[in-house]
Structure 1
């Protein structure tokens, strides 16, 4: 018998019971992939992460990230949450200000900054890969059907388009907050027209109308292909979201750096706030970062034969 211990954290929030839940396991590298997937299915959180010894000389640790149905090459809230747990449980080894950890992932090494002040960890910041802009989806009526909305609810001044920093998401701009609240994803339409293409199977909706004055956009994300009906906070989509907003001039800046805040999970009763920083010079995206905080909410153990 083997006992596996995990820490339960809420990610992209500074209050318990907000943000996105995450189970963080510290694994010695011996757990087989099939067992890690079963554990993620058993816990049934949007993601479960395993921190393992790195297999290369350029990273501090390896991350293996699982939804209830599939393993992901990279994901935002597990990466941020894993860094928080490493820092929080070894708090004395952190220095005031900025601390760096490098994770080996399915898309290469990812750098995470852990910021510490007198009260503990104040923020965790993840650097994402350079954004890649995919195809524009032209069938607005089908998009509206997918979301149980009218075509008039879809914003026409900017495109429905796929963007990725490791995992592609289809970004759908919505005109109003009222329409966002009415969204009901139709899985029959998704199966017929969206799941068939990796560029369109993960659905991210947003509007520039927000509930909080400090927010830039109000967001909702649906990923049935990952076993996630709706996600309360999606870090891996928030970097591409920031790049999309910059690319299509939804946000502005007097300099080359853009600061964006996405509020998400409010319809689910789990308010989340993800800060996105995008640096673009001329036509070149130099840096995309996401950041937020976490709260430790509990711990547990699994007994495995």
Structure 2
């Protein structure tokens, strides 16, 4: 997915960020946040701040910046409080919409809408072998997602290409966004951490960090580190990642 992020002044936080796909505005975007903070930091526009707050449509969230000795910058981004809603649609039609049959869906884990800032449908898949076979039919998504027609689809499994990684995923965009597939998805990776604590291992000792891989089917190798902890009995989710500078363009308005 390609988002455009705009960094603005805020009277509620250190800065405000607005996010747009080609099709609509989004409440929150993980990788666009990482890229924005990285760009501002490397341009010297954040001075020496290592902690700051950002105002988003998903709420005011905390950002922490750490610079390693090698000069690499890692950014930790808090997510909104996790929410889940039941999916009551056809499992068969859902599987077909990503080029699979219902047999590919994990029989013991629930399909649910999840959000830590933006809603996506979390689809547990039996194993890694199905991911190369996926072919999203985005135009069919809204009719299948009766409860949330504008949600994206996020199939994942507990098997990964890298043995040091906890989960593997792909992310198929809502047709209203004007894009098809996301290489690496920060917000959906964050809600996967909450899903893990809610539905996969309720007895997991927290705090816990999970690593999610994504993008391999598109020739990329994305990694998101998802931190899951509890504050006052509620799940608190944050993610850590970094960014790279590709190029600059000037836009004249």
TM over 0.5: yes
Structure-2 change in CA distance of 1:83 and 1:131 (3 Å): same
Matched, 1:154 2:110: no
Question: What is the 5 A alignment of 1:98-117?
Answer: 99-117=50-68
Larger radius of gyration: 1
Structure 2 gaps, min length 5 = none
Structure that is richer in strand per residue: 1
> 2:250 maps to what in 1?
301
**TM-score scaled to structure 2, two decimals?**
0.92
How far 1:231 moved relative to its partner?
0.3
How far 1:303 moved relative to its partner?
2.5
Structure-2 change in CA distance of 1:172 and 1:286 (3 Å): closer
Cα contact 2:94–2:144 (8 A) shared by 1: no
Structure-2 change in CA distance of 1:86 and 1:77 (3 Å): same
How far 1:199 moved relative to its partner?
6.4
Structure-2 change in CA distance of 1:161 and 1:219 (3 Å): same
Aligned mate of 1:227, from 175, 178, 183:
178
How far 1:120 moved relative to its partner?
2.3
> 2:164 maps to what in 1?
214
CA distance in 1, matches of 2:57, 2:159: 35
Secondary structure class of the residue paired with 1:287: strand
CA distance in 2, matches of 1:297, 1:188: 32
Secondary structure class of the residue paired with 2:126: coil
> Which structure ranks higher in relative contact order (CA pairs < 8 Å, sequence separation ≥ 6)?
1
> 1:65 maps to what in 2?
19
How far 1:228 moved relative to its partner?
2.0
| RMSD over aligned Cα atoms | 2.1
> 2:191 maps to what in 1?
240
How far 1:94 moved relative to its partner?
3.0
Question: What is the 5 A alignment of 1:178-217?
Answer: 178-194=129-145, 196-198=146-148, 201-217=151-167
Structure 1 gaps, min length 5 = 1-44
CA distance in 1, matches of 2:176, 2:147: 11
> 1:265 maps to what in 2?
215
